């Protein structure tokens, strides 16, 4: 709970001593004794908890955070060697989903046990009522049981934060934001700013959800969002870089929450019409669903690495899947034609090779650079120099010829040996036949 409270605060490090005490106890339970200096050297890279959408999201994140910490924490600490696994990329959404399923299963099992326990209680109460003949006691117990069951079935949850006081603020007023030495908003103004940015990130009219990645959002929309924020908060020392980074993370998580909680759970209805409470237009929702079900999106989320021919198709087509020019049309058609026979082959592939589909369509790579891979990789570093390749091929051919010669010599020796055995067999049979004939002749003559 200390850790959960600290993550809800605008200044999470105000609970630093309590968190470090919790970490020390965690290590003590696992049989790892660490000094206070070692514990104090741990960088508290606390994750950013997204806005609650159902009242339980933060709790799942905190449980997963503690689970990752307990599973990956090292036996010793130092500021230079400590693994920064608790950075902004400290978790994966797939692992988080699997973890939440386990939590939900455990929760249902606990509820079942609690219900059985309550049922046993009411049975014992009925027996006592029959013995004592007190109907009032039975009624009271029944009411208590019903209340407990209702409290378990219906849990109060709050929706997403709306920041009505900020959105409804008069145009001539602004909220002052204080920034610390490392460029983070602190104090009441900082807490208000963080919450307000979450509402902006979920506003589809300002930041559409049918855009693939953050850097593809048009610049004029980004500037409109920046102007909107400056109208609400003191623009004297606003850190634009921090604000845009924070709002981009909240925007990404908002899209993830839509896919995870709405799009995946109600495919038949939500694909046609968006939920009314999100205020998303039907056209925007359909475009977002089109992106989430596209082959490129599925390929990217499957974790398979794209080769440079696939990357060429993605980077040389528009948002609607149309090639950018006539030359790209020809190149993409050739790539797709060459990739078609490979559809049933193994999915394992390399990013680039000397005679891959990309080089077959667009020509061989020039010395010093491999196209489609960015700065760094060269033909020599990926598949060796041309002279080295020729030497290697010549060596392989020489070994092949030598192997064939040895096999031919072995066959010749086998053939010679076989021929000698045949000759010896033929030579041994003939004298016996002649000797037998001589005896027969001699016998006939004697008679």
Per-residue pLDDT tens digits for 57-116: 566 666 777 777 666 665 555 544 444 445 445 556 677 777 777 777 766 666 666 666
Cα–Cα distance, 149 to 145 (Å, whole number): 6
Cα–Cα distance, 290 to 272 (Å, whole number): 11
* pTM for the whole structure: 0.39
Burial status of residue 254 (CB atoms within 10 A of its CB: 0-12, 13-18, 19 or more): buried
Please, what is the end-to-end C-alpha distance for the chain in angstroms? 127
DSSP tag of 259:
I
Which of 177, 349, 199, 221 is CA-nearest to residue 279? 199
**Residue 426: pLDDT band by 50, 70, 90 thresholds?**
low
Cα–Cα distance, 229 to 300 (Å, whole number): 33
For residue 43, give both structure tokens.
């960088």
Averaged over 162-174, what is the pLDDT? 71
Is residue 379 within 8 A of residue 387, CB to CB? The reply is: no
Show Cβ contacts of residue 113 under 8 Å, excluding neighbours closer than 6 positions: none
Cα–Cα distance, 61 to 6 (Å, whole number): 13
Show Cβ contacts of residue 367 under 8 Å, excluding neighbours closer than 6 positions: 378, 379, 380
Residue 409 has pLDDT above 80, yes or no: yes
Which of 47, 42, 38 is CA-nearest to residue 6? 47
**Residue 258: pLDDT band by 50, 70, 90 thresholds?**
confident
Where is pLDDT greater, at 16 or 14? 16
Is residue 213 within 8 A of residue 319, CB to CB? The reply is: no
10 Å Cβ neighbour count for 233? 21
Max avg pLDDT among 26-35, 48-57, 143-152: 26-35
Where is pLDDT greater, at 420 or 150? 420
Residue pLDDT, tens place only, 266-317: 454 555 667 676 778 888 888 887 777 665 665 565 555 667 787 788 778 8
Residue 434 has pLDDT above 50, yes or no: no
Cα–Cα distance, 312 to 328 (Å, whole number): 9
Local structure of 205: helix, strand or coil: coil
DSSP tag of 263:
I
Q: How many helices (H) and strands (E) does the chain have?
A: 18, 2
Where is pLDDT greater, at 184 or 295? 184
Show Cβ contacts of residue 143 under 8 Å, excluding neighbours closer than 6 positions: none
Instruction: Determine the pLDDT at residue 164.
Output: 64
Distances in whole angstroms, Cα of residue 267 to Cα of each of 231, 264, 286, 292: 39, 6, 12, 12
């Amino acid at each position: 709970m200390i850790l959960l409270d600290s993550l809800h605060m605008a200044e999470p490090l105000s609970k630093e001593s309590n968190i470090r005490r919790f970490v020390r106890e965690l290590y003590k339970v696992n049989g790892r004794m660490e000094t206070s200096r070692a514990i104090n050297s741990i960088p508290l890279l606390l994750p950013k908890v997204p806005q609650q959408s159902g009242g339980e999201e933060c709790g799942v994140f905190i449980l997963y955070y503690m689970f990752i910490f307990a599973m990956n924490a090292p036996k010793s600490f130092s500021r230079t060697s400590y693994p920064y696994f608790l950075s902004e990329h400290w978790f994966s959404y797939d692992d988080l989903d699997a973890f939440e399923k386990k939590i939900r299963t455990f929760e249902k099992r606990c509820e079942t046990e609690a219900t059985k326990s309550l049922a046993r209680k009411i049975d014992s109460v009925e027996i006592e009522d029959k013995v004592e003949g007190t109907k009032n006691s039975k009624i009271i117990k029944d009411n208590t049981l019903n209340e407990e069951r209702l409290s378990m079935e219906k849990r109060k949850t709050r929706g997403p934060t709306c920041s009505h006081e900020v959105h409804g603020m008069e145009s001539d007023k602004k909220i002052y934001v204080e920034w610390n030495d490392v460029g983070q908003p602190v104090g009441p103004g900082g807490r208000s700013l963080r919450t307000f940015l979450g509402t902006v990130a979920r506003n589809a009219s300002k930041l559409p959800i049918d855009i693939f990645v953050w850097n593809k959002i048009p610049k004029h929309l980004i500037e409109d969002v920046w102007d909107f924020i400056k109208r609400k908060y003191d623009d004297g020392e606003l850190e634009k870089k921090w604000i845009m980074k924070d709002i981009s993370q909240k925007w990404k998580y908002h899209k993830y929450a839509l896919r995870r909680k709405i799009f995946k759970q109600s495919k038949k209805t939500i694909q046609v019409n968006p939920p009314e409470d999100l205020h998303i237009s039907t056209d925007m929702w359909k475009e977002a669903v089109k992106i989430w079900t596209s082959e490129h999106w599925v390929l990217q989320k499957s974790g398979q690495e794209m080769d440079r021919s696939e990357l060429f198709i993605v980077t040389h087509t528009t948002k609607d899947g149309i090639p950018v020019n006539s030359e790209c049309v020809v190149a993409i058609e050739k790539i797709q034609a060459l990739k078609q026979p490979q559809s049933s082959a193994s999915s394992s592939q390399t990013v680039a090779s000397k005679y891959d589909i990309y080089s077959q369509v667009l020509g061989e790579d020039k010395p010093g650079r491999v196209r489609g891979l960015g700065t760094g990789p060269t033909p020599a570093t990926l598949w060796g120099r041309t002279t080295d390749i020729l030497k290697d091929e010549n060596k392989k051919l020489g070994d092949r010829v030598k192997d064939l010669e040895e096999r031919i010599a072995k066959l010749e020796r086998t053939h010679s040996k076989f021929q000698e055995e045949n000759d010896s067999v033929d030579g041994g049979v003939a004298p016996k036949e002649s000797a037998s004939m001589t005896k027969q002749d001699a016998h006939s003559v004697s008679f």
